[in-house]
Amino acid sequence: MKHYSSFAIDQFTRHCLNDTQGFNWLMNNGYQELIATLDAIRDDKKAFQFLMKNKHVELAAFVNAIWEDKKAFQFLLHIKAVDWAACANIINGDDKAEAVLNQLNKKHFVLLAHAIQSRIHEDGDRNVSPWGVLQNLLNFKKAFKKDENH
């Protein structure tokens, strides 16, 4: 399991908040798996496969724990990836997890959780706005046409 410095987590947080400098730092310093983690959280199947193929199992479990997979959460605890487990719990609304991370001086994981939560809400809002619904319908129709042609 790879250790991530608080600075790397801060850059990941910046990336989650659409900060180009955070993205660039992650890319230029060999943290593509963190970029893939956000993409996987946002339901990019190829990004999730990237995490698994490159043996970033703790990040893949983190993605699944965010989506309330109890086995993934237990796996994080089992491999002692407690910071990632607590981060997922914060995203899922657990105030106690936030208090524990703050007590342990792991504020960078708390900030990351809130950034991911914000991005999830932003994506959800985009999907329910009138323009987002129209785009999803058009994408659905395109995908359906591709299936008909095969």
Query: Rounded CA gap, 102 and 82, in Å?
Result: 13
- 124 or 76: which carries more pLDDT confidence? 76
Number of domains in the chain: 1
Extract long-range pairs of 56-64: CB within 8 Å, 24+ residues apart.
56/2, 57/1, 58/1, 58/2, 58/84, 59/33, 59/34, 59/84, 62/37, 62/87, 62/88, 63/37
66 within some domain: yes
110 within some domain: yes
Query: Rounded CA gap, 53 and 142, in Å?
Result: 29
| Number of residues that make up the chain | 150
Q: What pLDDT was estimated at residue 26?
A: 98
71 within some domain: yes
Could you tell me what percentage of the chain is helix, strand and coil, using 3-state DSSP and rounding each to the nearest 5? 80, 0, 20
User: Got the DSSP string for 53-111?
Assistant: HTT-HHHHHHHHHHTT-HHHHHHHHHTT-HHHHHHHHHHTT-HHHHHHHHHTT-HHHHH
Retrieve residue 146's tokens: 């591709």
1 within some domain: no
Which value, in Å, is the radius of gyration of the alpha carbons in the chain? 17
pLDDT at 149 over 50: no
The pTM is what?
0.81
Q: Which domain holds residue 70?
A: 6-148
Q: What pLDDT was estimated at residue 68?
A: 87
Q: What pLDDT was estimated at residue 138?
A: 55
Retrieve residue 141's tokens: 């129709």
Judged by average pLDDT, the poorest of 48-52, 56-60, 109-113, 128-132 is: 128-132
Judged by average pLDDT, the poorest of 25-29, 73-77, 118-122 is: 118-122
12 within some domain: yes
Extract long-range pairs of 56-63: CB within 8 Å, 24+ residues apart.
56/2, 57/1, 58/1, 58/2, 58/84, 59/33, 59/34, 59/84, 62/37, 62/87, 62/88, 63/37
115 within some domain: yes
What pLDDT digit, counting tens, does each position of 45-100 carry? 999 999 999 999 999 999 999 998 999 999 999 999 999 999 999 999 999 999 99
pLDDT at 135 over 50: no
